Amino acid sequence: MACCPIFHRIFGDGNKIKPYLAFFAGRNKSQHKQYVDAIPTVSEQVSNNGIEEKIHNLHMINAELDSPQIVYWTPTKYEKDLLNQTWSNELDFLYILGLKIYVHIFEYCPSTKKLFPTIHAMGPTYAESEAFKGQALKFVQVVCHCIESLNEPHTMAEYLRYIGEKHVQYSYRGFKPLFWNIYLDALDMSLSEHIASFENFDEEKKKDATEAWRKLAKFTITHMKKGYVRGLVKEFNEQSDTFSIWAGQHPGFRPIEDDD
């Protein structure tokens, strides 16, 4: 499989690029979840293959994210050790992780590309754009900040809520609360693959490391969601329109349309 020029510019022709290419070539959309952000009518439930289960699973995910174990999570010393051992601030690692996360997001929910007009305009070649490369780094910078703040979970939570609140500006482009679940899925999948590559970890340690990352990922998305909702409430309270008029100005309140 030939790789696009941007990967050569970042990583050269060596082995650094291979993990990403293997991931990119091995994707199988049918194995990944579909995302639902509205509960259909009874007739729609009958006609939509298994959609009730997907909705149930989505509610279960949201309930778990709101649990005290996630909202007030404080990593143990062992969890912090595992997280630090499996993290790297090297640029090639950050790029590959960011690229994996956003390829997953854009491939399995194409409407998210509309949040980034420059990337969306690139069409199928979006992964070659400098805009995509920059966006890929933005999210891993958030994860990087979390790793540096493991000893201060309250500070970390407030930082994440601040980042989530800033995403209210994207609600006018169609950002939906559901997208946080897609970020969670992408982060979980990418880091699970990363941990599986640690040959010096036995299976038990890999399992523990994967679980530690899942907790951090859930903590991250939970508090970003809370910040996003806080921002929406603040914006609504600072204006004078009715809820219907205000909500109509936010495409994010409409159903997903994956028409790419």
Which pLDDT band, with edges at 50, 70 and 90, does 1 fall under?
Answer: very low
Q: Please check whether residue 203 lies inside any domain of the structure.
A: yes
- Using CA atoms of 55, 56, 62, 64 in order, give the dihedral in degrees to the nearest 10: -160
CATH number, domain at 163? Answer: 1.10.490.10
Domain membership of residue 74 (yes or no) is yes
Model's pTM, two decimal places?
Answer: 0.71
How many CB atoms lie under 10 A from the CB of residue 49?
9
The percentage of residues in the chain with a pLDDT greater than 70, rounded to a whole number, is 71
Q: What is the pLDDT of residues 82-122, one digit of tens each?
A: 999 999 988 888 888 998 898 888 888 888 888 888 888 88
Q: Please check whether residue 7 lies inside any domain of the structure.
A: no
Is residue 93 in a domain?
yes
* Mean pLDDT calculated for residue range 213-219: 94
pLDDT at 219 over 60: yes
Given this model, what pLDDT does residue 254 score? Answer: 61
Domain assignment present for residue 42? The answer is no
- Scanning the chain, the segments in alpha helix (DSSP H) are 5-11, 18-25, 42-47, 51-65, 68-71, 77-85, 91-108, 117-121, 130-148, 153-166, 179-196, 203-237, 243-248
The number of distinct structural domains making up the chain is 1
Q: Which two tokens stand for residue 211?
A: 């679980």
Say if 163 falls within a structural domain.
yes
Structural domain for 144, as ranges: 52-253
Whether residue 28 lies inside any domain: the answer is no
What radius of gyration, in Å, describes the C-alpha atoms of the chain?
19
43 occurs within a structural domain: no
pLDDT tens readout for residues 114-161: 888 888 888 888 878 888 888 888 889 999 999 999 999 999 999 999
